Amino acid sequence: MTTSTTPARRRDATRQRLLDAAAEVFAESGLDAASVEAVCERAGFTRGAFYSNFDSKEELFLELAARVWEARIGAVAVRVAELEDGGHLEVTTDAIQAVVQRVLDGPAEDRLGVLLMSEIRMHALRNPRFAEGFLRQQDEMHSSVARIIDDIGRSTGVRFRVPAADAARLFISSWESTLVRAVMAGLDDEEREQRCRAEVAQIAHLVLAGD
């Protein structure tokens, strides 16, 4: 059993190291300027190792985007589950800001992650084929957030003025645009997080139906 699983584990470890290295290189230099060689050098691998895991930089780039979004969604989902287990999702419309802050409680998104996602969007704007994959991933993220919003509504009895899918798009767009502006303004982790929470809380007040 050990012999058969070791190559798979090594391959997974290699893939993860390439992804980690690419995230840094792409954020620093951009996808177009960053070479496969630069990614391999940062990861400590050869070009052969790269092409045994990815067909192109674009494929790796899309996987990076998926990893960032999955981490965001997973963190929120876990936080919602924790709050439900602790009985902290019993809320009213007036208390929505506190709920949003609890759900979004966690480490602030770092500057590298913001740069990476900005590079991904810019490449999608320039490359129609890449944009197709990017938009599919974004639709999946919106659907996942919409499911979380539905779950919160069922758990709390809170009603929304708009469908969960529309609320998800509003929350995500608000969070991301505020985060980008906060990075541009040079705010630190805590300041970025506070600004994003406040902005999303304002959106929450708009989309929640009155009692």
Do 65 and 134 contact (CB within 8 A), yes or no? yes
What pLDDT score was predicted for residue 94? 47
The verdict on 32 and 136 lying in the same domain is no
- Show pLDDT as tens, one digit a residue, over the chain (211 residues): 444 568 788 888 999 999 999 888 887 887 778 889 999 999 999 999 999 999 988 888 888 878 877 777 777 777 667 766 666 555 554 445 555 555 554 445 677 778 878 888 888 898 888 898 889 888 888 888 888 888 777 777 777 888 989 988 888 888 888 889 999 999 988 888 888 878 877 887 788 766 5
Strand partners, 42: none
Query: pLDDT value at position 17?
Result: 93
CB 165 within 8 A of CB 143: yes
Count CB neighbours of 96 within 10 A. 18
Nearest C-alpha neighbor of 46 from the set 24, 14, 5, 16? 14
pLDDT value at residue 161 = 87
Same domain, 20 and 108: no
Q: How far is CA 155 from CA 143, 149, 151, 159, in A?
A: 18, 10, 6, 11
Tokens representing residue 87 in the block: 């009985």
pLDDT of residue 102: 54
- Helical spans, DSSP H, in 44-127: 47-51, 57-85, 96-103, 111-126
Number of domains in the chain: 2
Residue 51's pLDDT is: 93
**pLDDT number for residue 1:** 45
Q: Can you give the CATH number for the domain in which 7 is found?
A: 1.10.10
Asked if residues 205 and 183 have their Cβ atoms less than 8 Å apart, the reply is no
**Beta strands per DSSP E along 3-84:** none
Asked if residue 112 and residue 15 are part of one domain, the reply reads no
> Are the CB atoms for 15 and 53 separated by under 8 Å?
yes
Domain span including residue 25: 1-54
The predicted structure's pLDDT at residue 48? 92
Output the pLDDT for position 115.
80
Is residue 74 domain-shared with residue 165, that is, in the same domain?
Answer: yes
Query: What's the pLDDT score for residue 194?
Result: 82
Burial of 62 (0-12, 13-18, 19+ CB in 10 A): buried
| Residue 50 and residue 81 share a domain | no
Model confidence, pTM: 0.70
Q: Give me the CATH number covering residue 152.
A: 1.10.357.10
Residue 208 pairs with which residues in a beta bridge? 160
Count the Cβ atoms, other than its own, within 10 Å of residue 69: 20
Task: For residues 20 and 49, state if they share a domain.
Answer: yes
